[in-house]
Structure 1
Amino acid sequence: MRAACVQLSVRECDVFNNKRRALQLSSDAADSGADIIVLPELFLTGFCYDIEPERYPYPSLIPFRALSVDSGAIFVGSIMSSSDRGTHNMGFCLAGAEMGFYSKTHPFGDEKKHFIPGGIIAPVKISGLSIGLEICYDMRFPEVARKLCESGADLLVTIAQFPAERIHHWRSLVIARAIENQIHHIACNACGSAGGSSMIVGPGGEVLAEADDEECVIIADIDPGERDRLRRSITCWEDRRPELY
Structure 2
Amino acid sequence: MSETVKVACIQMNVSVCLKHDNIQRALQMAEKAVSREAELLVFPEVFSTGFCYERIEELAEDVPGPTIDALCDFSKEHGCILAGSIIERREKDTTNKKDQTPSQYNLGFCIESGKLAGSHRKVQLYGPEKEYFASGGSIGPIKLKKHDLSVGLIVCNELRYPEIARKLAVEGADIFVSSAEIPDFYAHPWRIMSISRAIENQLPHVACNRVGRGKRTIYPGGSLIADGWGRILEEAGSEETVLIGEIDLDKAKEIKQKGSILQNLRTDLY
**TM-score (ref. length: structure 2):** 0.87
Alignment counterpart, residue 61 of structure 1, candidates 51, 54, 68 = 68
With 98-107 and 15-24 compared, the bigger mean Cα shift is at 15-24
Which position in structure 2 is the counterpart of 1:174? 194
| Offset from partner CA, 1:143-168 (integer Å, 9 cap, x none) | 00000000101100110001111111
Which position in structure 1 is the counterpart of 2:35? 31
3-state secondary structure, aligned to 1:192: strand
Alignment counterpart, residue 208 of structure 2, candidates 188, 201, 205 = 188
Matched, 1:229 2:249: no
Tell whether the 8 Å contact from 1:161 to 1:195 is kept in structure 2 after alignment: no
With 233-242 and 150-159 compared, the bigger mean Cα shift is at 233-242
Alignment counterpart, residue 80 of structure 2, candidates 70, 73, 76 = 73
3-state secondary structure, aligned to 1:187: strand
3-state secondary structure, aligned to 2:262: coil
Alignment counterpart, residue 266 of structure 2, candidates 219, 224, 241 = 241
The Cα shift of 1:134 comes to: 0.8
Percent identity between the two aligned chains: 39
Matched, 1:147 2:183: no
- Give distance in 2, aligned partners of 1:60 and 1:67: 11
- Give distance in 1, aligned partners of 2:8 and 2:164: 23
- Give distance in 2, aligned partners of 1:66 and 1:98: 9
| Offset from partner CA, 1:51-74 (integer Å, 9 cap, x none) | 421001121233322221121110
The Cα shift of 1:80 comes to: 0.5
Matched, 1:3 2:7: yes
Q: What letter is aligned with 1:228? A: K
- Give distance in 2, aligned partners of 1:6 and 1:198: 9
Alignment counterpart, residue 101 of structure 1, candidates 94, 119, 124 = 119
- Give distance in 1, aligned partners of 2:66 and 2:259: 46
- Give distance in 2, aligned partners of 1:80 and 1:116: 11
Which position in structure 1 is the counterpart of 2:25? 21
- Give distance in 1, aligned partners of 2:24 and 2:168: 32
Which position in structure 2 is the counterpart of 1:83? 90
- Give distance in 1, aligned partners of 2:61 and 2:107: 10
| Offset from partner CA, 1:47-106 (integer Å, 9 cap, x none) | 012042100112123332222112111000111101214310001001134211000011
**TM-score (ref. length: structure 1):** 0.96
With 78-87 and 150-159 compared, the bigger mean Cα shift is at 78-87
- Give distance in 1, aligned partners of 2:260 and 2:138: 28
The Cα shift of 1:233 comes to: 2.2
- Give distance in 2, aligned partners of 1:56 and 1:16: 17
Which position in structure 2 is the counterpart of 1:130? 150
- Give distance in 1, aligned partners of 2:73 and 2:115: 12
The Cα shift of 1:195 comes to: 2.1
- Give distance in 2, aligned partners of 1:142 and 1:18: 31
The Cα shift of 1:126 comes to: 2.8
- Give distance in 1, aligned partners of 2:106 and 2:259: 36
Q: 1:165 to 1:18 in 2, by over 3 A?
A: same
- Give distance in 1, aligned partners of 2:184 and 2:140: 29
The Cα shift of 1:236 comes to: 2.6
With 144-153 and 8-17 compared, the bigger mean Cα shift is at 8-17
- Give distance in 2, aligned partners of 1:113 and 1:234: 41
